[in-house]
Amino acid sequence: MDEQAGIDAGIQHYYSSVFDEDARLTTRSAQSALEFIRVQELVGTRIAAGSRVLDIGGATGIHANPLAEAGHRVTLVDPVEEQVVKAQRHGTFHAEVGDARQLRFADNSFEVALLFGPLYYLRTAEDRLKALAEAVRVVAPGGWVFAAAIPRFIHHAAVSLGNIPPKPYPQAWVEVLESGTPAPSGRFPAGHFHTAEELEAELQAAGLTAIELHAIEGPAGFALERLPNDEALLQAALTLVRRTGHLTAIRDMTNHLMAIGRV
Ligand SMILES: C[S@@+](CC[C@H](N)C(=O)[O-])C[C@H]1O[C@@H](n2cnc3c(N)ncnc32)[C@H](O)[C@@H]1O
């Protein structure tokens, strides 16, 4: 089994039997609300009313459903059938099994593509370019591609929060910092963690223009992962990240990065 086939098998197992993705953005921690609100506003404030939106790696429809309820015509694809079945239960959009690297849709058939998942599961730059190129192909000229990534400086979070690192200091942490390749151990079947500059270069290579880069949560998101919902903290974190999430000093210090480009 090649490396990506192993990651893909891990994804099937993780999302069908280990992790409840449906609850991740609703009840898990105070970070959930921060991520959900920020993603919805980064997308919702840019796209035109009634857009045709393809949510690639859309899982159970946590973002697809509110976008459909806001009047957009949404289609969701995800490789994990169990998640697609849950997505179909919303009844507000079409959902089917599919893979970001090869979409069955015609050229120019959407105004918006969302890639909130695939890029951090694809190990090679070649596969990530395939996924981005497919998103670009199915979106009509003038449309939007939104792509999320996990920043490779993620272990700064653990230390900033006072977590004692294992001894000896894990070589795997150094490898993520240097190359973006996460360790194969652990239950999360990750493929690649980005820097903001690398993510921008990948969107450029796919032909996207007017690229914007934003921290989705900002540094506060790390601490909020450990806390239950707290409205005052949430509002403070939102204010900080709305004002500073695009700055180079801030955008990598976050649970998730968002790149936005025009076709
Ligand atoms: C962390 S979840 C994110 C779900 C949702 N898009 C969100 O933003 O909350 C990542 C999703 O990416 C999907 N995924 C992984 N590899 C993919 C691929 N090659 N093509 C499409 N989706 C993929 C997974 O099945 C999973 O549902």
List pLDDT tens digits, range 92-139: 999 999 999 999 999 999 999 999 999 999 999 999 999 999 999 999
Tell me the CATH number at 152. Answer: 3.40.50.150
Give every CB contact of residue 32 below 8 A, 6+ residues apart in sequence.
24, 25, 26, 229
CB of 95 shorter than 6 A to ligand 1: no
User: Is 98:135 a contact under the CB 8 Å cutoff?
Assistant: no
Residue-wise pLDDT for 172-231, tens only, equals: 888 899 999 988 766 778 999 999 999 999 999 999 999 999 999 999 999 998 888 889
Cα–Cα nearest to 253, from 218, 213, 216, 225: 218
Cα–Cα nearest to 197, from 153, 135, 244: 153
Cα–Cα nearest to 137, from 105, 114, 115: 105
- Its domain, for residue 61, covers 3-262
What pLDDT score was predicted for residue 179? 93
Q: Tokens representing 28? A: 């898990």
For the residues 157-174, what does the mean pLDDT come to? 81
What pLDDT score was predicted for residue 1? 63
Distance 180 CA to ligand 1 centre (A): 19
Which amino acid belongs to residue 202? E
* Total of domains in the chain: 1
Rounded CA gap, 214 and 256, in Å?
9
Q: What percent of the chain has pLDDT over 70?
A: 99
Please tell me the residue having the least CA distance from ligand 1 atom 10.
117
Length of the chain: 263
